Structure 1
């Protein structure tokens, strides 16, 4: 069917997949690095300006401009404070840090590639965190691959006075980027002995690298099956299991559900994985529980765009009036978002409110080419179905179609 029914299957993009090494989880909460920035109106305005600048850089495809707002030095300092046991004078560690930064520098290009494929990257809001003593800027990535949020940690450059970001909390992984990369360093240092002989953990690590590379070149099936064979400690890592589930999502519902159940069996009490639970509940037909997770996410992010997700779940649940109301909210508040516009139109036709559907088509003609709309309404989707099948047979539609 042509209506886009939203799935929360996530795309762990960019810098994570460009870096071909991961590692074990460790509890870094006690080592959290605090920034100090006062909560003032003047700082509010500067933080908002930074958010606007980041969004403009992405919209204008200016990856180098985007990176001028990133503090390489502070990011490395955060890594060092989270990993005090590593020898940062060691040439190998220096090379590893250099590779980390190269991977991160590809981050904006991956976002831009999503935008070029009709995705969106939007500055949602900002907030001040009293515990962290600094500001955060929240961005939403929405694409055909799914939904994710990025929470940028902000600081004031002590030399220039400019506001910049030093780290990003990735909602899908449930941790700061520095924490994920910090485990790379810890694992690498612990995986080889002083004579350079390879340990079993490092062998698993190298297999994971092969899996990631397979996924990068468009072969998630091979990547998934390589990960299936890894049985060491790394196979229990949250990040490992999330990455594995994303590969499984490309193989079918059965494999995807299996991978999610494996994740929850080990990390079911982790509050940061409720994003993954949304997919699980949808696959199990537990739509009420899925909506509860969406509501939790909406409360955390304060992002009204999640009404679109609620609408899609209501549609799958055949709760058409709730779906219609939520689609209408998105249509009214997110101009030019065709996924919501087409879904709103589809629900009108499902409810046989054909006169309203014609009126809405007349408004869409002001925004889109009529011939393109006709083609969209009459074509079959990838499942050889068409949600507008009955509607396009009505006299009302035929009259609209032929009208000048």
Structure 2
């Protein structure tokens, strides 16, 4: 069986018909390389400036709407609901750039990392990295199409959820659509999965997590063939159920599907819990090979630190400090290593770097060292540094 939401929303042209609307895949040329790169840079700059219009102008909300809704021209109730739903959809599609902009204002990172031409998909993709101290690392893959003159964003694949933006909005659409509107077009045996998915969405939205987990587990078992989308929904929810549910869900994914960068991102936590550091390293490398993102040196540093390979960790943290001078976490991680090595002169030099590349005041930084790094704070080098 095809991916669940592909069945629900893409098959059977009468019910769910939408074409490329004059937009098609892009040939791999140097000229198109430049156009795609410029689009990525333009989007990145717009997010930094708090401007959501560049995103909205390039995703074409009216075109994208057709990816989200159920369509049946003979179902007047559903057609009427879709027209009414469009206002809620507009809010949801706008919330994507708005949430990124707010995250940037709160100190998170969202950067255009790279672009590539996918020889399988036969079009271009933009890779953006999201990083938050609270939520960790994620990547967004923007699929790009063209009408010969202009480029557009066709969809966005989110690594952490293994969902496209259109699929995420479909789940919200299902939560809003009345069941009787859906059941009127679900006579076909395969359409029963839409209702099963809606039961999951409704229970989750009502914060009935165990009930939602039961629904998604039943759906996962009901499919004739393994469905990655359903399995990832189950995995996401399993973290709120129990460790046993999480391990079972993650192991199901690793044994059932091709291990790609998105799966590897999800698997990092699992491998850490199993203390399988070699598997963690392989997962990070897989993501780095796909994204060409040197920011993953931070994850390699954290891995080396967890494995107590402090010399290797220091190398990765130093790379991060050089390449991302305004990202402060590697600096504090390196300070911890200097604390263990009693490298007090190096520590005070690093404290100067922190002051020069961050908003930290010297008295705040001094207090932080005294509270968290007792050997450095007791050293002569640190005391002399405080007097400067």
TM-score of the two chains, using structure 1 as the length reference:
0.75
3-state SS of 1:68 partner: helix
CA RMSD of aligned residues (A): 3.7
Q: Does 1:269 align with 2:261?
A: no
Aligned to 1:227: 212
The number of equivalent residue pairs is: 356
When residues 358 and 173 of structure 1 are mapped into structure 2, their CA distance, relative to the original with a 3 A threshold, is: same
Q: Distance in 1 between matches of 2:286 and 2:185?
A: 50
Aligned pairs for 1:372-383 within 5 A: 372-379=364-371
Is contact 1:234–1:240 with CA below 8 Å preserved after alignment?
A: yes
When residues 310 and 231 of structure 1 are mapped into structure 2, their CA distance, relative to the original with a 3 A threshold, is: closer
Aligned to 1:400: 385
Aligned to 1:305: 295
Is contact 1:155–1:164 with CA below 8 Å preserved after alignment?
A: yes
Aligned pairs for 1:289-368 within 5 A: 289-367=279-357, 368=360
Is contact 1:307–1:329 with CA below 8 Å preserved after alignment?
A: yes
Q: Distance in 2 between matches of 1:276 and 1:292?
A: 13
Q: Does 1:41 align with 2:30?
A: yes
3-state SS of 2:300 partner: helix
Of 107, 121, 132 in structure 2, the residue corresponding to residue 132 of structure 1 is 121
Higher helix share: 2
What's the CA shift for 1:346? 1.9
Of 199, 202, 217 in structure 2, the residue corresponding to residue 209 of structure 1 is 202
Structure 1: gaps spanning 5 or more residues: 1-22, 215-222, 380-385
Which 10-residue stretch deviates more, 389-398 or 334-343?
Answer: 389-398
Is contact 1:141–1:148 with CA below 8 Å preserved after alignment?
A: yes
Q: Distance in 2 between matches of 1:392 and 1:358?
A: 10
Structure 2: gaps spanning 5 or more residues: 12-18, 222-226
What's the CA shift for 1:306? 0.7
Q: Distance in 2 between matches of 1:307 and 1:194?
A: 52
Q: Distance in 2 between matches of 1:48 and 1:338?
A: 28
3-state SS of 1:366 partner: helix
Q: Distance in 2 between matches of 1:175 and 1:148?
A: 12
Q: Which has the higher contact order (CA 8 A, sep 6+)?
A: 1
When residues 261 and 391 of structure 1 are mapped into structure 2, their CA distance, relative to the original with a 3 A threshold, is: farther
CA deviation vs aligned residue, 1:341-387 (integer Å, no higher than 9, x gap) = 211222222222111111221232323421121132234xxxxxx3x
Q: Distance in 1 between matches of 2:73 and 2:370?
A: 62
What's the CA shift for 1:277? 1.2
CA deviation vs aligned residue, 1:79-108 (integer Å, no higher than 9, x gap) = 69xx8xx52564525745735454222111
Aligned to 2:99: 110
What's the CA shift for 1:247? 5.2
Q: Does 1:87 align with 2:72?
A: yes
Q: Distance in 1 between matches of 2:155 and 2:317?
A: 34
When residues 213 and 336 of structure 1 are mapped into structure 2, their CA distance, relative to the original with a 3 A threshold, is: farther
TM-score of the two chains, using structure 2 as the length reference:
0.78
Is contact 1:63–1:108 with CA below 8 Å preserved after alignment?
A: yes
Q: Distance in 1 between matches of 2:201 and 2:171?
A: 14
Aligned to 2:16: none
Aligned to 1:164: 152
When residues 94 and 295 of structure 1 are mapped into structure 2, their CA distance, relative to the original with a 3 A threshold, is: farther
Q: Distance in 2 between matches of 1:200 and 1:77?
A: 20
What's the CA shift for 1:41? 2.2
